Amino acid sequence: MKNIQKAYKPLKVSNNNMLPGDLYRSPDESFFETLMFIDAGFLSKLSKHFGKGKYLAYDLITFSKNLARKQKFICKNIFYYTASPFQSYKPTKEEEKKKDGYDRFLDKLTKQKVIVRQGRVQRLEVDGEFIYKQKAVDVLLAMDLTNVPIKYPSVKKIILISSDSDFVPVIKNLRDNGVKTILYTYYEKMRNTPFSRSNFLIKSVHKYILLSKEDFDLSPLKKGVKNE
């Protein structure tokens, strides 16, 4: 079955098969190398959504390279932003199990030259229940985005996997420095959805593409390996 992805298009078009559009109608030149920045929290949430409550089994490296290839790019580097599972002062067996799986997954990524940035997880008690929030992860991602023109002057287009509008100022700064951002994201138009559309974010990028379950399915996980 042919892979068809939803992507931004101007409101009035005659060609329904056109590639994702450029809001500023600038030339759509292609570059051989790109950088990919992955918001792991968003991607994990989307995986569970497509898996109907269960995380999909897929290979992150293949997944990333496939998305880059669709834009006619080759990943120069993949950046992965995450946070270690919460550990109590005296970790429970379940917490230790999650941490062990997390460490093995990160070890696999680093061996494949993925650049991993780690924040931390904070546990808060609200109305008698614990909630967990990642801390510093977005800051680390924003810092690396800001440094793209300095550390990678030959890269003129990057790929961002996220849905966070907090990155808009950084994306605009990149654009002012000659770097275009291609956004892979996901949203639903229905009410009461965990994936709402951020027009602020969408309007800031060069082009955007909606991720689909097929993107995960086309990146099969090798037997015996598990994403955490």
- In one-letter notation, the amino acid at residue 119 is G
Of 32, 117, 112, 21, the C-alpha closest to 75 is 32
Question: Do 204 and 168 contact (CB within 8 A), yes or no?
Answer: yes
Share of the chain above pLDDT 90, in %: 57
> First and final CA of the chain: distance in angstroms?
29
Expressed as residue numbers, the domain containing 70 is 33-217
Does some domain include residue 18? no
Question: Does residue 107 belong to any structural domain of this protein?
Answer: yes
Does residue 21 fall inside a structural domain? no
Please list the rounded mean pLDDT of every run of 10 residues in the chain (228 residues).
50 40 48 89 94 94 95 93 79 83 89 88 59 73 96 95 94 96 92 82 95 95 59
Amino acid identity, position 47: S
Domain count, the chain: 1
Q: Are 57 and 224 in contact (CB under 8 A)?
A: no
pLDDT tens per residue, range 126-184? 566 655 566 568 999 999 999 999 999 999 999 999 999 999 999 999 999 999 999 99
Examine residue 10 and state whether it is found in any structural domain, yes or no. no
Residues 6 or more apart from 154 whose CB is under 8 A from it?
Answer: 33
Whole-angstrom Cα distance, residue 75 to residue 72?
10
Q: Which helix (H) or strand (E) holds 65?
A: helix 60-70
- The pLDDT score that the predictor gives to residue 223 is 61
Domain contains 138: yes
| Residue 160, domain member (yes or no) | yes
- Give the closest residue to 70 by CA, choosing from 157, 10, 169, 178: 157
124, part of any domain: yes
**Which residue(s) pair with 83 in the sheet?**
119
In-domain check, residue 144: yes
Kindly report the CATH number assigned to the domain that includes residue 120. Answer: 3.40.50.1010
